[in-house]
Amino acid sequence: MNQLKKIDKKIFYLIQKEKKRQSEVLEMIPSENFTSLAVRQAMGSILTNKYSEGYPKKRYYGGNNIIDEIETLAQERAKKLFKVPYANVQPYSGSPANLAVYLATCKPKDIVMGQHLFAGGHLTHGFKVSATGIFYKTVQYSIKDILTDDDLFDYQEIRKMAFQYRPKLFWVGATAYPLKFHYEKFACIADEVGAYLVADIAHIAGLIVGGVHPSPVPYVHIITTTTHKTLRGPRGAIIMITKKGLKKDPDLPRKIDSAVFPGLGGGPHNHQTAAIAVALKEASSISFKKYAAQIVKNAKVLAEELKKFKYKLIGNGTQNHLILMDLTDSLGSGAGVLAQEALDIAGITVNKNTIPGEKFSPFYPSGIRLGTPALTTRGMKEKEMKKIAFWINQVLNEINAFRLPADKNKIHLYLKNFKKVISQNKKLKQIKKEIKKFCLQFPIP
């Protein structure tokens, strides 16, 4: 970093400040993680200098023989790790990868089904403000309020919707769902209506290859994933096609390739591709399997401890890496924004999140989403989760007297005053000191 410090001191010091922040707080946003030094070195390599539009052996620029080897290696590692016959490693991130699937399988205004955002789904599964909800006719299914058989999906209702609307594309996967997915049940419905079934495993990819979450490979046609969450790689994405997908449409690989480039992208980020290859190699190790198992163990202990403090958890706990807390009973509707702010001041980073049956907007939701991937990367285990749950409860107790106004016109001023008051809270400042001391015992990679 010496050269950066010499050339641009402002950026250098901002990076150092962010490094310090990450080192001193509990990063609990379940979509965040810490990459290895090897991944970061690949990301910061001279590969960023090269333009490589096209695919291996089919480039629009010269001088790509080495880049071809790197991209092919990344593809082969992805295919081997996930046990699929095809992989495209060029998508810049998860949302463009998902949009490429639409472009490859649908025409504008085709009907698409996906899990509703308020029920834990992702924007790109057809939510109204996303391009996927603007250019395609989308039908969104929800989840049940009551847990039955370790599952929150009403398959009879989903099947009824599928037969009513006959979607061309059918998404299974979420961004805030704490339980395991039963892909075979979705596959039965999708097959009955002739839809392409896509599993978005962005959150759980690392858990799948680690053997602690079922794989969608035998049941779906297409798989999309990011590479920076539980997979612990750089920010990027992969699109994969299964044997079942090839059987349904042998031309799918060409369609996906064309959708990624030239349909949506330009030159691939070769430094990103190399870093993905490194992360895939790391994920194939025995130590990574142990890591994935520890993520789930940590999440389950954290959930049980939070339940001891009488907090309501969607799904009554977790089976994966994340926990979705419904704060409606304890702190009122819209309390997620208050909780996120207070926890941030205390050195605990989470994100506000909508809950099933949300009464407020995504800007002022009633829940918070938290997870254990980044904590586990730092070496924290069950003992530490109990301490963290204790701190979370202490922080939330400090904001028990606050309630977000129901009148949306009053929310902005209320939040402004809330932030001013809570920033001076002595208890939160004390907790932050305790967390800083605690975190420094667990260095980031």
Instruction: Give 44-78 pLDDT, tens digit per residue.
Output: 999 999 999 999 999 999 999 999 999 999 999 99
For residues 26 and 229, give the distance between their C-alpha atoms in angstroms, rounded to a whole number.
16
Per-residue pLDDT, 1: 83
Per-residue pLDDT, 371: 98
Q: What integer is the mean pLDDT of 80-87? A: 98
Per-residue pLDDT, 144: 86
pLDDT at 167 over 80: yes
Per-residue pLDDT, 108: 95
Residues belonging to the active site: 51, 53, 200, 226, 229, 235
For residues 394 and 399, give the distance between their C-alpha atoms in angstroms, rounded to a whole number.
9
Q: What integer is the mean pLDDT of 222-234? A: 98
Per-residue pLDDT, 145: 76
Vertex 428 angle, CA 426 and 432, to 5°: 115
Q: By C-alpha distance, which of 313, 27, 292, 366 is closest to 179?
A: 313
pLDDT band at 361 (very low <50, low <70, confident <90, very high): confident
Q: What integer is the mean pLDDT of 208-220? A: 98
Instruction: Give 110-149 pLDDT, tens digit per residue.
Output: 999 999 998 899 999 999 999 999 999 999 999 987 776 7
Q: Which residues contact 61 (CB under 8 A, 6 or more apart)?
A: 51, 52, 53, 54, 267
Instruction: Give 402-441 pLDDT, tens digit per residue.
Output: 999 999 899 999 999 999 999 999 999 999 999 999 999 9
Instruction: Give 331-349 pLDDT, tens digit per residue.
Output: 999 999 999 999 999 999 9
Q: Could you give the 3-state DSSP secondary structure of residue 343?
A: helix
pLDDT at 34 over 90: yes
